Amino acid sequence: MAEWVVGPIMEKIINACSDYLKDQFRWQTGMKEEFERLRQNHPKIKAVVFAANQAQISDQNRGLNEWIWELRDALDEVNDVLDELEYIQLEQQLSKNTLIKNKKLRKVRSMMKSMKKRLVKIVKRALKRDPNLKRLEKAMQKLDKVSADVTTFLYLLESAKQEQKEQEVDFYRARETGSLPTTNYLIGRGKDKESVVQWLRNPSNKPRTSRYRNISLLSIVGHGGMGKTTLLQHVYEDEMTKEFFDLKMWVCVSNNFDVKKVIADMLESLDNKKPDLDSLEALQGRLKNEVKSRRFLLVLDDVWEEEKERDKSKWGNVLAPLAYGGFGSKILVTTRTDSIALMFEEVILEKTEPLRLKGLEDKECLELLNTHAFAVDYLDDQRKLKLKLITAEIVKKLSGSPLAAKVIGGILNSNLDEGHWRRVLNSGLEIIRLGQNDIMPVLRLSYVYLPQHLKICFTLCSIFPQDYEFDRDALVRQWIALGFIQPSHIQGEILEDIGGRYFDVLVKRNFFDKFKDYYYKMHDLMHELAQSLSIHECLRVEDGTKLPSPIPKTLRHLSVQAENPDIIKKIVQFKYLHSLFLFYEPSNQDICALSEIFKLRSLRLLNIESPEDLKIIPEEIGNLIHLRYLEIDCYNLTMLPRSVSNLYHLQYIIYDGPEKGADFLPSDINNLSNLRYVKLPENCISSICGIRKLKFLQKVKIFDLRDASGYRIGELENMDDLCKLGINCLENVKDAEEACSAKLCAKRRLIDLTLGWENTDSRNIDLFENVLDNLEPPNCLRNLKMDSYMGARSAIWMNNVNLISNLEKINLTNCSNWETLPPFGQLPFLKSLTLWNMPKVKRLQSKYNGNDKYRTFPLLEVLNIHELEALEDWFEAGVAAEDGCLFPCLIQLSINSCPKLKELPSLPSKLKSLQIRYTGWKTLNFCSISNSIPLETLEVLHCPNITSLPLADEIARLAALRDLRISSPNLRSLGNYPEVETSNNCHLMLSYLSISDPLVLLMEPLRSIASLKRLYIMYNDELVSFPNEAEQWFLNVSSSLCELEFYQLKSLESLPSSLESLSSLQKLSITKCPNLISRGSYREEETSNNCHPMLSYLGISDPSVLLMEPLRSITSLKELRIEHNNEVVSFPNEAEQWFLNVRSSLSELRFSSLKSLESLPSFLESLSSLQILSIYDVPMLRELPNLPPSLKSLTLWDVPMLRELPNLPSSLERLAIWGELHRELKERYREDGGSDRHKIAHIPEIYIST
């Protein structure tokens, strides 16, 4: 069974019952004995359960296992009753508050009568006649009976301790490693070995003053079974190490780390005999003498973490004598956890990036699998070839694990019969379990060494499918809802902070791998481990038609895909279920089956995911009074059930859908005073009246203020847990005093603040300024965004750098009266600054003096300045312009519509992306102090003052430039080459080039380009044809150019004649070039078969372009788009032959933004390979032709004249009809009774907007 923490649950129950005992007279006389026995048995129960967990003896002792589950059931029942009592208290408090409010408002008597029943309940409880007493007594009696049986198992404590010690010794012996590799080959880790050997050879070039300055340390980190030890065995035996090091030591540390033993093992490794020394002092002295002034290599294999600070101290004792080693000494560590690598960094005071071993690539893993599968074989070539086809499939299930490849290879080699190998292949996810006696113990060791509270967090993850992308914050919320997170004693720390720390530890210990920016994945083997550990309490059912059998009654967490309503009815039998992930596909007939789910009264977590036809959720959800977490993923849900507002324990509501009406939320949603986080459409949050009651909320993305009770800024006064807040409609704040009532400065967790105004009446400038002065945020703020502030000056607090010193990101938009900016350049941590539409700002006005130099924006990485028409200069007069002092860390600079702005004296030395549009710059001043310019993207558009760009001048330093976009009307030159002759190494190595004038191609350094992937020529109303010299340019890049686009060239009459010679061209787009057709510029010469373009994608505006060479001769094409044409009414007859030429290859066809098109070509039916047809924004289209039998997807969007569909092919898998549609079309095919709905009933996925 998975580990279970009994202590916190029992402590909670004992404390709650103790409070209840004082309050309830009957308990004082009737339940005192049971309660005292429970208190006395508590430590015994903790000891037995802990021993069972540590030694895993419950799996072998059936009676103990059954007793633990009985105990869990009894504790859960008591916990539920106490939770319900808390619920009743919340309900009473709410009734009391409502009564007081009603009195104050002098409501009529009828309303007072409606409160009478609730008041009677309150009075009864006040008289100590609690109707829940009997339930609590019954639950406590059951718990008392079960807990009394703990004495039966006390004898196991001593044997469990002994068994645990024996297990540790046996496991250490089984895992002990030596320095000799077991094989001569190292498959899949050649590059890693090369990297380690190179590190060993290179002395550290970082100056260090610590006592370990002669030593460098590298940690090899990876999951169990990733080959860390094998890698270092091959490194250790490499000839280089024998020649380079005076001494070599190999120590297997493993799970019984002892300082004296590790030092003794080092000495034994040197002398081949155990030292006859006992004291730490003697051992350290001996080791010091052995290594003194000698270059050594030490391998510490399989290091584990126990307790960080204690480990640091112990490892400090181990490494202290090694500090006397010679310069260039190296230590290699293998471990499963990043935290060990970090701990060693702190001990030797050197930061080194660990080498992380990931899974092998399939090719390498297959080689390793085959090596073991065919280790001993007497097979002929034909049989071996057949079996190798099977291993090629098996390897896909091993997740790149070297250990799994070795073990499964051994299983295959044990029986070379093809049938046996196919049975292994067809075992699916069970394939790992075939070798579980060898694989799982290795993985399980990582789990055994987890703290108890992390074990339950880890095993819950088995409820998610393999390759699931975990969101850290979402998973933490689920842990909190299920009670897995224990409160902290650190002041100001909330449960989410603690849960985040739990998650980070699991990441450091490699239970999760970073996947994307915000997501993590669990390695397949780790997921398999979680499943094997939680088999009695977690279950995931992916067959939507039936439940597996048998299912343990001990089930606590269930994920089920339910297509059959009978499945839902069966789920109700699991009365102790705490979390349910339901993927439900209801029909109109079985929507009520959902009500059955709401009989699972013990649920803490409910996640409902359903396709778009689920519009309502039954009100019976209000029965789930223990619910903490509710997530609903139903796009067309019309409203949350009104009864949700009665779920007073609810902490999290997540509905990530489109904007909804004002009635989507219950009007009394503010009853949910325990809410910590909500994810709802933005307009829903602003509809909550009296949001002040939700004082534990952590994020309010947008709160629209109104001049009405319940919607004023004072609602935010006591919401001190907010970390993200957006306040809009600030013009509704009447005065500075009201602004103060928000008490933003007191919100010590606030890191993200958005302030917005909508009514921008410039007559209230003083009010704008006074309000902003009194919205001072706390100093911890990191992100600040302001929109439509109409004040002429900065807020007082913005001019005090100390008050905003932690800001990392600032975004100011549409602040049209603002004249002088705050001293943002002095902010020490600012990384991103965006200024947009601030027409009165004349300069950034930011500098500060340090080290006798003016330095500005010391950490700024991203700067966006758009639509600052009055901006003239960067800084006030007198600022030094030395290279490296202005924006020393800037990576991305974007300037748009700043016509008066002067160029920077020197471009920042770390700049990677520069975009300037509509600015007054005259040139680019590249930094003079660096040998290379890191610029990767350069965009210069519509800058009339620029006549020359110094690209040729700086060609030798522009090696990083890959993306170049130039469109400036007066550009005459791209600079001059230096007088020294340029070599091939000095050519620009562009991937993407965008220009408006082809003459730019003839300017150096573009003229000499020999390789380019993407070329865009666009926005030129004067270009008629391409100059002859440009034809040769196209030939120069013919072998590399993959993508070519001509866009909005209104006067262009002919395409380059060399187009047909572009042998690598795959994508071609010719749109909004109307004169190509009107002048009829067809090429007459014959094109040979070798010159036909081999396109995969073609985009055009007018179908007549298809009749021009070289497009006329195309015989193969995968995707065609015809779009952006307001003139074409129908397709020319001549186009039919063209479509027939590509019918065997064309798989995707799209018609888009064709305002006058009335009909599609009838020959569409002949396109035998067409699978995807999309029609967007074709308002005059009246009918569709018959469609090809190969079609799989049909999308129609904004086709208001289309009334009906043709007979759709049986191959169709998806039909989507969106946007503006004819009423008759929607009526014909609507789900509930459309006259032609039966004609599309065969399509699995149907989406029709209502």
Q: Given a cut of 60, is residue 1080 above it in pLDDT? A: no
Q: Nearest-5° angle of CA 1199, CA 1203, CA 1209?
A: 90
Alpha-carbon distance of 499 to 488, in angstroms, equals 10
Of the spans 368-372, 636-640, 700-704, 782-786, which averages the highest pLDDT?
Answer: 782-786
Q: CB–CB of 749/780 below 8 Å?
A: yes
Residue 783 has what DSSP assignment?
E
> How crowded is the C-beta side of 34, counted as CA atoms within 13 Å?
20
Alpha-carbon distance of 790 to 398, in angstroms, equals 61
Nearest 10 degrees: CA dihedral of 791, 793, 796, 797? 80
Please name every residue paired with 560 in a beta bridge, in sequence order, or none if there are none.
Answer: 541, 582
pLDDT at 1086: 44
Q: Given a cut of 90, is residue 623 above it in pLDDT? A: yes
* Assigned token pair, 1250: 């209502």
Q: Given a cut of 80, is residue 994 above it in pLDDT? A: yes
pLDDT tens readout for residues 870-901 = 999 888 765 555 555 688 999 999 999 999 99
Backbone angles phi and psi of 1221, in degrees to 5: -130, 155
What's the helix, strand, coil split of the chain in %, to 5?
40, 15, 45
pLDDT at 248: 94
pLDDT at 681: 87
Q: Residue 149: what residue type?
A: D
Q: State the pTM of this model.
A: 0.82
Average pLDDT on 957-968 reads 93
SS3 333: strand
Alpha-carbon distance of 313 to 799, in angstroms, equals 47
pLDDT at 1076: 86
pLDDT tens readout for residues 439-452 = 777 777 778 778 88
Q: Please provide the distance, in angstroms rounded to a whole number, between the alpha carbons at the two ends of the chain.
A: 50
Alpha-carbon distance of 1013 to 1064, in angstroms, equals 9
Query: Among 1-15, 464-478, 814-828, which stretch is predicted with the lowest mean pLDDT?
Result: 1-15
In the CATH scheme, what is the homologous superfamily, with its name and number, of domain 538-688?
Answer: Ribonuclease Inhibitor (3.80.10.10)
pLDDT bracket for residue 132 (50, 70, 90): low
Which one has a higher pLDDT value, 45 or 973? 973
Alpha-carbon distance of 659 to 674, in angstroms, equals 24
Topology at the third CATH level for domain 689-818: 3.80.10
Q: Given a cut of 80, is residue 763 above it in pLDDT? A: no
> What does 230-282 look like in DSSP terms, one character per residue?
HHHHHHHTSHHHHHH-SEEEEEEEETS--HHHHHHHHHHHHHSS-----SHHH
Q: CB–CB of 1112/1092 below 8 Å?
A: no
User: Residue written as tokens 């297990």?
Assistant: 167
> What does 371-389 look like in DSSP terms, one character per residue?
HHHTSS----HHHHHHHHH
Percent of the chain surpassing pLDDT 70:
87
pLDDT at 181: 86
Q: CB–CB of 809/782 below 8 Å?
A: yes
Average pLDDT on 167-196 reads 80
Alpha-carbon distance of 1106 to 1100, in angstroms, equals 8
Average pLDDT on 268-276 reads 90
Average pLDDT on 748-775 reads 90
Alpha-carbon distance of 741 to 869, in angstroms, equals 37
SS3 212: coil
Of the spans 270-274, 487-491, 1065-1069, which averages the highest pLDDT?
Answer: 1065-1069
Which one has a higher pLDDT value, 277 or 1082? 277
Topology at the third CATH level for domain 176-358: Rossmann fold (3.40.50)
Helix (H) or strand (E) holding 864: strand 862-866
pLDDT bracket for residue 1234 (50, 70, 90): confident
Q: Given a cut of 60, is residue 1078 above it in pLDDT? A: no
Residues with Cβ within 8 Å of residue 407, at least 6 apart in sequence:
435, 438, 439
pLDDT at 278: 85
pLDDT tens readout for residues 66-89 = 888 888 888 888 888 888 888 988
- Residue 1080, phi-psi category: left (phi > 0), alpha (psi -120 to 50), beta (remainder): left
Residue 151 CA: distances (Å) to CA of 17, 42, 145, 147: 23, 11, 12, 9
Residues with Cβ within 8 Å of residue 504, at least 6 apart in sequence:
none
pLDDT bracket for residue 50 (50, 70, 90): confident
pLDDT tens readout for residues 800-812 = 999 999 999 999 9
Residues with Cβ within 8 Å of residue 111, at least 6 apart in sequence:
102
Residue 412 has what DSSP assignment?
H
* Assigned token pair, 1160: 């599609």
Q: Residue 738: what residue type?
A: E
pLDDT bracket for residue 106 (50, 70, 90): very low
pLDDT at 289: 94
pLDDT at 968: 87
Q: Given a cut of 90, is residue 285 above it in pLDDT? A: yes
Q: CB–CB of 783/808 below 8 Å?
A: yes
Q: Nearest-5° angle of CA 393, CA 397, CA 398?
A: 115
